[in-house]
Amino acid sequence: MDIVAYTSPGCFYCDQLKELFKRADLEYTVHVVSTPEDRESLKKKYPLCNSFPHVIIDGEVVGGLVETARLLVKKGLVSSTKK
């Protein structure tokens, strides 16, 4: 899987996303969006990106933390139950 995550500095949900990828033992690329110019560039590429994190897997927009977690559970890469 080719995973790209756009994150924002100090974002709690972005930190949770990274933890989710770690639990799933998945490699991913992070792009930190920290300036207005970065945000504008991201909006041009992905117009529906309104919040962070923003995840793209194999070229397809997944969405944020919740949508990514649902996808990884569906694929059996993580469990939806706590251990």
| Average pLDDT of the segment spanning 57-71 | 95
Whether residue 4 has pLDDT greater than 90: yes
- Give me the CATH code for the 3-74 domain, please: 3.40.30.10
Q: Edge-to-edge strand order for the sheet containing 54-57?
A: 29-32, 3-7, 54-57, 60-63
Sketch the domain layout of the chain as residue ranges. Answer: 3-74
Measuring CA to CA, which residue among 72, 81, 7 is closest to residue 18? 7
Whether residue 83 has pLDDT greater than 90: no
Q: What is the pLDDT of residue 80?
A: 76
pLDDT band, residue 25 (cuts 50/70/90): very high
| Average pLDDT of the segment spanning 52-67 | 96
| Average pLDDT of the segment spanning 47-55 | 92
Considering Cα of 39, then 30, then 14, then 73, what sign does the dihedral take?
positive
